[in-house]
Amino acid sequence: MKVEPIGLALVGCGRISAAHLSAVIDQAPLFRLVATVDPDLTAARAAAEPFGAKSFASMVEALDQLDVDAVLIASPNGQHFEQAKIAIGAGKHVLVEKPIAETGAQALELSEAAAATGVVLAAGHTFRHGPAVRTLMERLPSFGKLLSVEVSQCVFWDGPQAPWWADRTTEEGLILSLFAPHALDFVQLVMGGDDPLRLHVEAARHQSGWQAEDEAMMLFAYPDRKMVSVHISYNQPHVHDRKTLFFDQGVAEIRDGELLRWNNELLVEPAAGILTDSSKMGGRDLSHYFSAQLAEFGKAIRGEPHCCPTGDDAARLIGLIDRVREQALLNSVDVISPSIEEKN
Ligand SMILES: NC(=O)c1ccc[n+]([C@@H]2O[C@H](COP(=O)([O-])OP(=O)(O)OC[C@H]3O[C@@H](n4cnc5c(N)ncnc54)[C@H](O)[C@@H]3O)[C@@H](O)[C@H]2O)c1
């Protein structure tokens, strides 16, 4: 049976758009890029041209195109909620880059709107789509009782990577809004339907090029005495990426996002060329995640089993980030706020 390609509009043609465009090429003919949107029309045109797609300065114009079935929102975080709401209202399926909204209440509103309209709302938690995480999730029931989880994802960004990073306020959050969604999506994945009973968060800012926190440590108490710690940083030149799960029968570890070990047994290793130097930014080819993510979004649209976080599940994560940000502000505002540098 011939399946028609899903007509995709890409909204936001900045840094991460190249990864999404390469995923569209990889997933042809499941998807076809039919429109691009960016207020910077030069960027929108450059993205559209190789695909023979149309380019627009505003999303509303693109939504009028009859061949747009789905929208991939990769604009700055502050635009996600309004754009997703409009796209859902126009009856389009949406894949929204993380975070899908700035607050849990907004995310819930999107989830309810998508359910009422009968479209897919999926969150771009890209890194759940790699072979190591997938195998971990498949094998999880065989590892015994999960006791605790440690996640540590420390990278180096030397100041804002896009101008809007510098404008993020302490209330909106920087690393807690931009990077924590990846780590917390992993936590939510392994914890299933449970949310933390208690949490403690400390955050700090080390760099002066932005206003909000660039380092954070979180401690969560989950039901059934399970505990989780998460450390994220934008200040570590030697990239460090570990996810360790402690079970009553042993330890599972994902290293550098690509290698999965169960006790001394190597269960998953990266394909050739994926991991060149895990200690360096850019020392890992991430394109396979974006391609797998788009494939899963396609399955969700077609009503098939899929691995995308969608609807209420996607919204629940933003509710958790609300709680984390609230705690960070409560405990750590003195080491985040701009005044700290004046004092030092
Ligand atoms: N999944 C991942 O691993 C990953 C990695 C990086 C970024 N991201 C997310 O992707 C999003 C974009 O990040 P980026 O680093 O590419 O930012 P960016 O600033 O480089 O790109 C954003 C683009 O959106 C455009 N834009 C601004 N307002 C717009 C509007 N109203 N409509 C359409 N386009 C608009 C800008 O002109 C820019 O070209 C962010 O939400 C970020 O959190 C995800």
Residue that terminates a domain, selected from 125, 153, 179: 125
pLDDT at 172 over 60: yes
Together in a domain, 331 and 225 = yes
Q: Mind listing the pLDDT tens digit for each residue in 227-258?
A: 999 999 999 999 999 999 999 999 999 999 99
Q: What is the mean pLDDT of residues 183-201?
A: 97
Q: Ligand 1 atom 1: the closest Cα is on which residue?
A: 126
Same domain, 43 and 117: yes
Provide the token pair at 175. 């690393």
Domain count, the chain: 2
What is the average pLDDT value for the chain, to the nearest integer?
96
- Residues 30, 138, single domain; the answer is no
- Share of residues in the chain with pLDDT > 90 (%): 96
Q: Decide if 69 is inside a domain.
A: yes
The residue among 74, 101, 125 that closes a domain is 125
Contact (Cβ atoms closer than 8 angstroms) between residue 320 and residue 195: yes
Which of 22, 37, 38, 86 maximizes ligand 1 atoms within 8 Å of its Cβ, making it the mutation to test the pocket?
A: 38
Give 291-330 pLDDT, tens digit per residue.
999 999 999 999 999 999 999 999 999 999 999 999 999 9
Which protein residues are within 6 Å of ligand 1, measured from CB? 11-16, 37-40, 43, 59, 74-77, 79, 97-98, 124, 126, 162, 164, 178
Ligand 1 center from residue 226 Cα (angstroms) = 35
Are residues 135 and 226 both part of a single domain?
yes
Ligand 1 centroid–CA 198 distance in Å is 33
| Residue 323 lies in domain | 128-284+310-343
Ligand 1, atom 4, lies closest to the CA of 16
> How far away, in angstroms, is 98 Cα from ligand 1 center?
10
**Distance from the Cα of residue 139 to its chain's centroid:** 23
pLDDT at site 343: 45
The CATH number covering residue 336 comes to 3.30.360.10
Ligand 1 center to residue 71 CA distance, Å?
14
Q: What is the pLDDT of residue 3?
A: 75
Q: How confident is the model at residue 51 (pLDDT cuts 50, 70, 90)?
A: very high
Q: Is the residue at 254 inside a domain?
A: yes
Query: Residue 341: what pLDDT?
Result: 53
Q: pLDDT tens, 88-117?
A: 999 999 999 999 999 999 999 999 999 999
Band (pLDDT 50/70/90 cuts) for residue 279 is very high
Query: Please, which pLDDT band fits residue 344 given cuts at 50, 70 and 90?
Result: very low
Q: How far is the CA of 73 from the centre of ligand 1 (A)?
A: 8
**What pLDDT, in 10s, does the model give residues 260-275?**
999 999 999 999 999 9
In angstroms, what is the C-alpha Rg of the chain? 20
Ligand 1, pocket-test mutation among 10, 11, 13, 16, most atoms within 8 A of CB: 16
Domain boundary among 63, 98, 125: 125
Ligand 1 centroid from CA 100, angstroms: 12
pLDDT given for residue 1 in this prediction: 58
Same domain, 245 and 161: yes
The count of other CB atoms within 10 Å of the CB of residue 338 is 12
pTM of the shown model? 0.96
Assess whether 100 and 179 both reside in one domain: no
**Do 184 and 237 fall into the same domain?**
yes
Residues 16 and 133 in one domain: no
For the CA of 13, the nearest atom of ligand 1: 39
- The answer to whether residue 255 sits within a structural domain is yes
Residue nearest to atom 3 of ligand 1 (CA): 126
C-alpha 167/C-alpha 147 separation (Å) is 39
For residue 317, what pLDDT is reported? 98
pLDDT(342) > 60: no
Per residue in 16-43, pLDDT (tens digit) is 999 999 999 999 999 999 999 999 999 9
End-to-end CA distance of the chain: 68
User: Which residue puts its alpha carbon closest to atom 14 of ligand 1?
Assistant: 15
If asked whether residues 33 and 172 sit together in one domain, one would say: no
User: Does residue 183 sit in the same domain as residue 331?
Assistant: yes
Distance 164 CA to ligand 1 centre (A): 9
| Bond before 99 cis per omega within 30 degrees | yes
For residue 40, which atom of ligand 1 is closest to its CA? 37
Q: What is the pLDDT of residue 337?
A: 87
In a domain, 22, yes or no: yes
Please state the rounded mean pLDDT for residues 168-174: 96
Provide the CATH number for the domain around residue 69. Answer: 3.40.50.720
Cα 143 to averaged position of ligand 1 atoms, centre (Å): 38
Q: SS3 letters for the chain?
A: CCCCCEEEEEECCCCCHHHHHHHHHHCCCCEEEEEEECCCHHHHHHHHHHHCCEEECCHHHHHCCCCCCEEEECCCHHHHHHHHHHHHHCCCEEEEECCCCCCHHHHHHHHHHHHHHCCCEEEECHHHHCHHHHHHHHHHHHHCCEEEEEEEEEEECCCCCCHHHHHCCCCCCCHHHHCHHHHHHHHHHHHCCCCCCEEEEEEECCCCCCCCCCEEEEEEECHHHCEEEEEEECEEEEEEEEEEEEECCEEEEEECCCEEEECCEEEECCCCCCECCCCCCCCECCHHHHHHHHHHHHHHHCCCCCCCCEHHHHHHHHHHHHHHHHHHHHHHHHHCCCHHHHHC
Query: Do 132 and 254 touch, CB atoms closer than 8 A?
Result: yes
- Whether 290 is covered by a domain: the verdict is no
The whole-number pLDDT of residue 2 equals 62
Tell me, yes or no, whether 121 and 141 share the same domain.
no
Which protein residue has the closest C-alpha to ligand 1 atom 9? 97
Tokens linked to 95? 């894949």
- Ligand 1 mean position to 230 CA, how many Å? 25
Q: Give per-residue pLDDT as tens, 125-156.
A: 999 999 999 999 999 999 999 999 999 999 99
Rounded to an integer, what distance in angstroms lies between the CA atom of residue 299 and that of residue 219?
35
- Bridge-based pairing of strands 146-156 and 6-11 is unpaired
Atom of ligand 1 nearest to the CA of 37: 33
| Residue 296 domain flag | no
Same domain, 181 and 55: no
In a domain, 295, yes or no: no
Q: Evaluate whether residue 35 is within a structural domain.
A: yes
